[in-house]
């Protein structure tokens, strides 16, 4: 074991587009030897390294110079570490993995190392058998994640005296060629956490570590060596401001910076020469790289830098880190397993040492018993290891229980020396630490899971809270709306009640008005009846008067009576004075008169017949007129009743009442006008007829007067007739006279009868005329009454007042009806709204219930899923413990023989079958144990 410094090389990449854009310029200057670099920026800084690679150094050169030798060391049984350090985007991944592992020029040092390993194995002697295992992990957010098995994301770091520091349960794949390694690497790389930053589109957000374990066995001696190679691509050391990190990336940056700071602290402690404690346990990175930094490892640190002035500060810091790391001293040793011969020799040596120590202890115990017994012992007799080693037992104190031990006693079990006890304590402590690390890892995983769960539950909770808040808000809104609506409904129902009361009172008022109207009607009818009664009497009187007048005017009976009286007088004279008093002429004229009278009477009779006919016609017309009048009255009554009824029944029609009244009035006026006109015309006609009849009567009177004159003449003639003539013809004359007298008397009687009949008839006709006239007057009066009734100011006023009242009431009623209907409508709408709201509330409540149910279901589902995932995880773990890798090729150890031969199923194995079995058993459990 010899102290060896960490090899530090520096690599500058070309300026990137950001630096060019920002106006950065290369500020590096590398010396000819390629070990010094000068940064000529704001200040000039010099840095010296084992090697400095310029901007255009090919991948191959970097590998050839700085890495190739490490591969040889690892195949020789040393531990080796290569790690790349630098700011983000400085080319760490480019250097370690390369731009494309299949491209000869751009592939990085890891593929080249792998190739080199297999080349070395091929080149090795054929008595050497190799196995190569690969692990791939990343430290992300201070958690170790297995990149071959990403579900194992928080692996614990353990340490024991045989394996040193290792990651527990990290998957290790046995590989037998580069292709298998590449495939495994590609799989692992796809699981890495990368993110976009301003400095690098695919910035590694974790420290990635590839561990290649090469075991070598000398088939001749049985001696074995194993070397571990750690290939570390650190996450970028970066300034948060420049990378524009935020959120998760910022959290990552903090953790990255923390582990890099811990790395710096470890390096400082290792290099300051003062620190007794190296803070490896401050971060997982430093803990895993414990052996690589100041321990059993040959380590190369690649410092990746930007050449640009834009990143000068970061480059200086990186270069200083490299300078510090340069002075770290490691103690690399070969991790060898001894051969049986070596082991035997070692056993023998240990046994003799044990005997020596046991003898020494026995001698010491003898000396102690001497001292305890109160005896003294000369100094030359004191026990010393030197005397034991020399075998000078005489120089030792005599002791009862002391006896010199020989190698033959090697079967006896020695007591545990104190030094061994210390070691046990350490082991105990390590064991305890491992346990604690396991517990921590478990707790961390649990914590992480719980955090995730909590996060998802929080999210869910947030969602449901939002939902609940929204629903509550909506609910509140709806509740307030509901209460508002309720208030409105109450108000509306109250108003409705009020309106109903108003309507009732209006109905009552209406009823009262109807009653009043009825009373008025009754009064009107009574007044009419009274008026009719009073007018009936008056009418009778008037009729009598008129009739008397007319009869007086029209009656020809006076003249006829006069003529009759004259004739009677003549006849009486004849009777008293004798027949001889009348001359023949007188008699002839008398006869003529009589004939005339008769003719006249006939004429009168005819006239009377005509008049009778006319009267009948007039009667008919009067009847017609009466009928029409009655009809009109009836119509008027009906109209009035209808109007009143309409007024009473329909308030809406009241608005048209005035119009109706006006119409009615105008209609009545028109009807009365036409009736009046007609009646006036009829009266005129009647007057004309009466005047015609008067004329006729005059004529009749005139003829009667003529008859009277004739009668007078006849009397005169009769008085002048001589006496002698009377004797001869007396008897004849007397007889003739008697006949004449008789016929005249008879005619007169007939005339009288006829006259009476005529007079009666005339009287009747006159009565009818009078009645007609009176009826006309009455109609006129009625018309006047109607006119008066309609024009009567008081009535009009009252009517107007009533109309106004009615109108107002109608309006009020109408308004109330409208209000009522609108209120009813509003109430209906409000009720509908209320129903709709209630439905909405119900639906919302249902939704809420649904959401709660859903939440419960989801929770249950989630729990079930979680359980299922746990079970699956458990299952996967169990399966994994049975079959550790998804990659088929990594399950079984693939021993590689030096010279390029693969040992297939124990073929080419130079050892005996029992040895072969041993070997397999040792590899596979070794692999299984590492799981
Ligand atoms: N030496 C180089 N020559 C050419 N291109 C390079 C070189 N070094 C890096 N690059 C390019 O620079 C970019 C960033 O490189 P890379 O991803 O290796 O940086 P990084 O240090 O790993 O960054 P991070 O820490 O963010 O992961 C890549 O596109 C890469 O191809």
The pLDDT averaged over each successive group of 10 residues in the chain (931 residues) is: 77 93 92 91 88 93 88 87 90 90 89 91 88 91 88 87 86 91 86 61 76 89 88 74 56 71 86 83 89 85 93 91 86 74 77 82 83 80 78 64 49 38 70 82 81 83 83 84 83 80 81 83 80 72 71 57 63 62 64 68 71 75 77 73 64 57 68 72 72 71 67 61 51 64 67 70 70 70 64 62 70 73 73 71 73 74 74 65 48 64 44 33 30 30
Q: Is 89 in the pocket of ligand 1 (CB under 6 A)?
A: yes
Q: Is 12 in the pocket of ligand 1 (CB under 6 A)?
A: no
Q: Is 203 in the pocket of ligand 1 (CB under 6 A)?
A: yes
Q: Is 673 in the pocket of ligand 1 (CB under 6 A)?
A: no
Minimal-distance CA residue to ligand 1 atom 15: 91
Q: Is 242 in the pocket of ligand 1 (CB under 6 A)?
A: no
Minimal-distance CA residue to ligand 1 atom 10: 91
Per DSSP, what are the bridge partners of residue 229? 80, 212
What pLDDT sits at residue 248?
Answer: 58
Q: Which atom of ligand 1 is nearest to the CA of 205?
A: 27
Q: Which atom of ligand 1 is nearest to the CA of 234?
A: 25
Q: Say how far apart CA 267 and CA 275 lie, in whole Å.
A: 11
Compute the distance from residue 42 Cα to the ligand 1 centre, in Å: 25
Q: Is 308 in the pocket of ligand 1 (CB under 6 A)?
A: no
For helices 793-882 and 418-554, angle between their N-to-C axes, nearest 10 degrees = 160
How far from 759 is each of 551, 594, 610, 764, 767, CA to CA, in Å? 9, 20, 14, 8, 12
What pLDDT sits at residue 303?
Answer: 93
The residue count of the chain comes to 931
Minimal-distance CA residue to ligand 1 atom 8: 91
Compute the distance from residue 19 Cα to the ligand 1 centre, in Å: 13
Q: Say how far apart CA 469 and CA 467 lie, in whole Å.
A: 5
Q: Is 200 in the pocket of ligand 1 (CB under 6 A)?
A: yes
Where in 795-866 does DSSP place strands (E)?
none
Compute the distance from residue 306 Cα to the ligand 1 centre, in Å: 10
What pLDDT sits at residue 886?
Answer: 47
Q: Is 207 in the pocket of ligand 1 (CB under 6 A)?
A: no
Q: Which atom of ligand 1 is nearest to the CA of 203?
A: 26
Beta strands 164-167 and 329-332: pairing type?
A: unpaired
Q: Say how far apart CA 47 and CA 317 lie, in whole Å.
A: 11
> Residues 97, 103: contact at Cβ < 8 Å?
no
> Residues 118, 897: contact at Cβ < 8 Å?
no
What pLDDT sits at residue 915?
Answer: 35
Q: Which atom of ligand 1 is nearest to the CA of 235?
A: 25
What pLDDT sits at residue 693?
Answer: 67
- The binding site consists of 86-93
Compute the distance from residue 238 Cα to the ligand 1 centre, in Å: 14
Q: Is 604 in the pocket of ligand 1 (CB under 6 A)?
A: no
Compute the distance from residue 13 Cα to the ligand 1 centre, in Å: 8
Residue of 17, 84, 90, 91 best suited for mutating to test ligand 1, as the one with most atoms within 8 Å of CB = 91
User: Could you tell me if residue 784 is left (phi over 0), alpha (psi between -120 and 50 degrees) or otherwise beta?
Assistant: alpha
Compute the distance from residue 91 Cα to the ligand 1 centre, in Å: 3
Q: Is 99 in the pocket of ligand 1 (CB under 6 A)?
A: yes
What are the backbone dihedrals phi and psi of residue 10, each rounded to the nearest 5 degrees, phi first?
Answer: -125, 140
Per DSSP, what are the bridge partners of residue 216? 130, 225
Where in 494-653 does DSSP place strands (E)?
none
> Residues 388, 356: contact at Cβ < 8 Å?
yes
Q: Is 98 in the pocket of ligand 1 (CB under 6 A)?
A: no
Compute the distance from residue 628 Cα to the ligand 1 centre, in Å: 126
Compute the distance from residue 99 Cα to the ligand 1 centre, in Å: 8
Compute the distance from residue 194 Cα to the ligand 1 centre, in Å: 13
> Residues 899, 124: contact at Cβ < 8 Å?
yes
Beta strands 224-233 and 336-337: pairing type?
A: antiparallel
Beta strands 143-146 and 2-5: pairing type?
A: unpaired
Q: Say how far apart CA 583 and CA 579 lie, in whole Å.
A: 9
C-alpha torsion 261→267→268→272, nearest 10: 180
Q: Say how far apart CA 361 and CA 177 lie, in whole Å.
A: 56
Q: Which atom of ligand 1 is nearest to the CA of 94?
A: 18
Q: How many CB atoms lie within 10 A of CB 441?
A: 21
Q: Say how far apart CA 577 and CA 721 lie, in whole Å.
A: 12
Compute the distance from residue 234 Cα to the ligand 1 centre, in Å: 12
Of 599, 664, 675, 658, the C-alpha closest to 638 is: 664
Where in 187-295 does DSSP place strands (E)?
194-195, 203-204, 207-218, 224-233
Minimal-distance CA residue to ligand 1 atom 1: 13
Q: Say how far apart CA 880 and CA 864 lie, in whole Å.
A: 23
Q: Which atom of ligand 1 is nearest to the CA of 96?
A: 18
H/E run at residue 9:
strand 7-12
ipTM of this predicted complex? 0.98
Of 297, 228, 294, 222, the C-alpha closest to 263 is: 294
Of 486, 46, 83, the C-alpha closest to 259 is: 83
Q: Say how far apart CA 318 and CA 304 lie, in whole Å.
A: 8
What pLDDT sits at residue 741?
Answer: 64
Q: Is 249 in the pocket of ligand 1 (CB under 6 A)?
A: no
What pLDDT sits at residue 13?
Answer: 94
> Residues 778, 685: contact at Cβ < 8 Å?
no
Residue of 10, 55, 140, 200 best suited for mutating to test ligand 1, as the one with most atoms within 8 Å of CB = 200
Q: Is 311 in the pocket of ligand 1 (CB under 6 A)?
A: no
- The binding site for ATP consists of 86-93
Longest CA pairwise span in the chain (Å): 258
Compute the distance from residue 171 Cα to the ligand 1 centre, in Å: 28
Of 147, 290, 163, 8, the C-alpha closest to 155 is: 147
Q: Which atom of ligand 1 is nearest to the CA of 55?
A: 1
Q: Is 204 in the pocket of ligand 1 (CB under 6 A)?
A: yes
Q: Say how far apart CA 554 and CA 694 lie, in whole Å.
A: 6
Q: Is 92 in the pocket of ligand 1 (CB under 6 A)?
A: yes
> Residues 772, 618: contact at Cβ < 8 Å?
yes
Positive/negative CA dihedral, 687, 689, 695, 700: negative
Q: Which atom of ligand 1 is nearest to the CA of 199?
A: 26
Minimal-distance CA residue to ligand 1 atom 20: 89
Q: How many CB atoms lie within 10 A of CB 96?
A: 24
Please measure the distance between the N-terminal and C-terminal CA atoms of the chain and give it in whole angstroms: 30
Q: Is 154 in the pocket of ligand 1 (CB under 6 A)?
A: no
Q: Say how far apart CA 185 and CA 706 lie, in whole Å.
A: 172
Minimal-distance CA residue to ligand 1 atom 9: 91
Compute the distance from residue 20 Cα to the ligand 1 centre, in Å: 15
Where in 730-882 does DSSP place strands (E)?
none
Of 395, 365, 361, 400, the C-alpha closest to 380 is: 395
In sequence order, the 6+-apart residues with CB closer than 8 A to the CB of 456 are none
Q: Is 94 in the pocket of ligand 1 (CB under 6 A)?
A: yes
- DSSP three-state, residue 106: coil
Alpha helices by DSSP H, 227-283? 240-243, 248-271
Q: Is 318 in the pocket of ligand 1 (CB under 6 A)?
A: no
Q: How far is CA 146 from the centre of its chain?
A: 46
> Residues 908, 125: contact at Cβ < 8 Å?
no
> Residues 66, 9: contact at Cβ < 8 Å?
yes
Q: Is 300 in the pocket of ligand 1 (CB under 6 A)?
A: no
Minimal-distance CA residue to ligand 1 atom 2: 13
Compute the distance from residue 89 Cα to the ligand 1 centre, in Å: 5
Residue of 17, 93, 307 best suited for mutating to test ligand 1, as the one with most atoms within 8 Å of CB = 93
Q: Which atom of ligand 1 is nearest to the CA of 13?
A: 1
């Amino acid at each position: 074991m010899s102290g060896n410094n960490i090899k530090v090389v520096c690599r500058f990449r070309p300026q990137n587009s950001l630096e060019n854009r920002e106006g950065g310029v290369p500020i590096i200057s590398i010396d000819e030897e390629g070990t010094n670099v000068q940064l000529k920026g704001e200040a000039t800084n010099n840095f010296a390294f084992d090697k400095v690679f310029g901007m255009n150094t090919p991948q191959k050169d970097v590998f050839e110079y700085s890495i190739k030798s490490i591969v040889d060391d690892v195949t020789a049984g040393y531990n080796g570490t290569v790690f790349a350090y630098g700011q983000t985007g400085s080319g760490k991944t480019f250097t370690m993995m390369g731009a494309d592992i299949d491209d000869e020029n751009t592939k990085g040092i890891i593929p080249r190392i792998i190739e080199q390993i297999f080349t070395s194995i091929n080149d090795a002697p054929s008595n050497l058998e190799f196995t190569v295992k690969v692990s791939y992990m990343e430290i992300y957010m201070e958690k170790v994640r297995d990149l071959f098995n990403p579900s194992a994301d928080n692996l614990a770091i353990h340490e024991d005296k045989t394996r040193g520091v290792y990651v527990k349960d990290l998957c290790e794949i046995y590989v037998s060629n580069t292709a298998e390694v590449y495939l495994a690497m590609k799989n692992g790389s796809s699981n890495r956490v990368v993110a976009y930053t301003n400095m690098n589109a695919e910035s590694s957000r974790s420290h990635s570590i590839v561990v290649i374990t090469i075991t070598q066995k000398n088939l001749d001696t049985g001696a074995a060596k194993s070397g571990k190679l750690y290939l570390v691509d650190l996450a970028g050391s970066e300034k948060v401001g420049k990378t524009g990190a935020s959120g998760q990336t910022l959290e990552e940056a903090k953790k990255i910076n923390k582990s890099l700071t811990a790395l710096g602290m470890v390096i400082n402690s290792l290099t300051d020469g003062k620190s007794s404690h190296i803070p490896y346990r401050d971060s997982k990175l430093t803990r895993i790289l414990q052996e690589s930094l100041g321990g059993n490892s040959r380590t190369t640190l690649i410092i990746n830098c930007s050449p640009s002035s834009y990143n000068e500060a970061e480059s200086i810091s990186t270069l200083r880190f490299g300078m510090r790391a340069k002075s770290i001293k490691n103690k690399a040793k070969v991790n060898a397993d001894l051969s049986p011969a070596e082991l035997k020799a070692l056993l023998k040596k240990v046994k003799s040492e044990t005997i020596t120590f046991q003898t020494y202890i026995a001698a010491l115990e003898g000396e102690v018993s001497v001292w305890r017994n109160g005896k003294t012992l000369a100094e030359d007799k004191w026990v010393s290891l030197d005397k034991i080693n020399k075998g000078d037992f005489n120089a030792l104190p005599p002791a009862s229980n002391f006896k010199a031990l020989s190698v033959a006693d090697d079967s006896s079990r020695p007591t545990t020396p104190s030094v061994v006890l210390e070691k046990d304590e350490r082991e105990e402590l390590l064991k305890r630490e491992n346990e604690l690390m396991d517990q921590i890892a478990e707790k961390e995983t649990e914590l992480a899971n719980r955090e995730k769960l909590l996060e998802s539950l929080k999210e869910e909770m947030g969602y449901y809270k939002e939902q609940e808040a929204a629903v509550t808000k909506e609910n509140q809104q709806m509740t307030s709306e509901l209460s508002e609506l309720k208030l409105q409904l109450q108000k509306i129902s109250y108003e409705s009640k009020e309106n109903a009361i108003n309507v009732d009172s209006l109905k009552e008022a209406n009823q009262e008005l109807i009653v009043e109207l009825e009373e008025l009607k009754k009064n009107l009818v009574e007044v009419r009846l009274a008026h009719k009664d009073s007018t009936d009497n008056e009418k009778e009187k008037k009729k009598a008067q008129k009739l008397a007048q007319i009869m007086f005017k029209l009656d020809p009976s006076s003249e006829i009576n006069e003529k009759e009286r004259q004739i009677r007088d003549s006849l009486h004279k004849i009777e008293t004075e004798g027949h001889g008093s009348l001359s023949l002429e007188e008699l002839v004229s008398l006869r003529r008169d009589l004939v005339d009278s008769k003719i006249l009477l006939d004429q009168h009779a005819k006239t009377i017949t005509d008049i009778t006919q006319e009267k009948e016609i007039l009667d008919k017309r009067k009847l017609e007129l009466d009928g029409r009048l009655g009809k009109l009255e009836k119509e008027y009554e009906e109209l009035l009743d209808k109007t009143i009824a309409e007024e009473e029944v329909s308030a809406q029609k009241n608005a048209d009442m005035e119009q109706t009244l006006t119409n009615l009035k105008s209609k009545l006026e028109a009807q009365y006008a036409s009736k009046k006109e007609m009646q006036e015309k009829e009266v005129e006609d009647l007057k004309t007829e009466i005047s015609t009849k008067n004329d006729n009567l005059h004529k009749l009177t005139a003829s009667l007067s003529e008859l009277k004159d004739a009668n007078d003449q006849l009397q005169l003639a009769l008085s002048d007739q001589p006496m002698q003539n009377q004797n001869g013809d007396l008897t004849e004359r007397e007889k003739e006279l008697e006949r004449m007298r008789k016929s005249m008397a008879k005619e007169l009687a007939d005339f009288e009868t006829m006259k009476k009949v005529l007079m009666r008839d005339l009287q009747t006709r006159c009565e009818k005329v009078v009645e007609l006239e009176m009826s006309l007057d009455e109609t006129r009066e009625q018309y006047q009454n109607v006119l008066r009734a309609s024009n009567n100011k008081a009535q009009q006023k009252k009517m107007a007042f009533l109309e106004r009242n009615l109108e107002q009431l109608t309006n009020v009623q109408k308004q109330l009806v409208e209000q009522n209907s609108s209120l009813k409508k509003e109430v209906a709408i409000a009720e509908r709204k209320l129903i709709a709201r209630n439905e909405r509330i119900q639906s919302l409540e249902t939704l809420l219930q649904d959401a709660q149910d859903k939440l419960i279901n989801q929770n249950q589902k989630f729990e079930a899923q979680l359980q299922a995932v746990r079970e699956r995880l458990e299952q996967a773990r169990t399966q994994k413990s049975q079959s550790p890798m998804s990659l088929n090729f990594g399950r079984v150890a693939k021993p590689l023989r030096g010279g390029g031969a693969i040992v297939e199923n124990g073929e080419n194995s130079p050892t005996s079958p029992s040895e072969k079995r041993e070997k397999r058993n040792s590899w596979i459990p070794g692999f299984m144990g590492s799981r």
